[in-house]
Amino acid sequence: MILFSILHCDDKNTTEEFQNGFIISFAIGVLPGLVNNCPGVDLVVEKGIDYPISVEKDKISWFQFSQKGNLTPPEETRDYYFTITKDSAASISLISWTSCKNFSSPSRNGLTPDSETPTELKFKIGKDSFRFAETNRYRLELNSPNQTNVTVRQN
């Protein structure tokens, strides 16, 4: 139908306006869904499993949460948590990138822990992190100078 409209327009200005409008509409409405702007993941975190991770300064490693064991019926509410167990000297931030498929960019600030001790950070994670796992990414950022090993667990 679009091709028919373009080919059968006698007025060149009308045809160009139609084409430009179509291109803009296509770019805004369709391209974000087709282009995968999400970085690849190095780890898919499943509920209830401990994952030992080596965190290095300026090394980016993205992960996502698994839907397995996390999706509940829409009428049911529950809290989801992500725990980082670390050395007391290490300073770690959890960085999120939600909706990375829609040309957004990762957050520059770390998420705020729900609770914190010198050796443990506990974050409350939204249900959409599991429901739309294919378009959400997370990473750990080391703020202290030395490489460290941590254990992460999604509860």
Q: What does each of the 155 residues of the chain score in pLDDT, given as a tens digit?
A: 454 455 555 566 666 666 666 565 554 455 444 566 788 899 999 999 999 999 999 888 999 998 888 877 777 778 899 999 999 999 999 998 887 867 666 777 889 999 999 999 999 988 877 777 788 889 999 999 999 999 999 99
Residue 155 · residue 83 · CB < 8 Å: yes
Q: CB of 67 within 8 A of CB of 130?
A: yes
pLDDT at 139: 93
- Which DSSP state fits 3? H
**Amino acid identity, position 1:** M
pLDDT score, position 77:
79
Sheet holding 92-97, edge to edge: 43-45, 62-65, 137-142, 92-97
- Burial-class residue 9 by CB neighbours within 10 Å (0-12, 13-18, 19+): middle
pLDDT for position 86? 97
pLDDT of residue 118: 97
Q: 């994670």: which residue's tokens?
A: 125
- Residue 32: what pLDDT? 46
**57 in Cβ contact with 101 (< 8 Å):** no
pLDDT at 15: 62
Residue 13's identity, in one-letter code, is: N
Q: Which two tokens stand for residue 146?
A: 């030395």
pTM above 0.75, yes or no: no
For tokens 């999706």, name the residue.
Answer: 71
Q: Which is nearest to 86 in space by CA: 146, 9, 22?
A: 146
What pLDDT was estimated at residue 10? 58
User: What's residue 84's pLDDT?
Assistant: 98
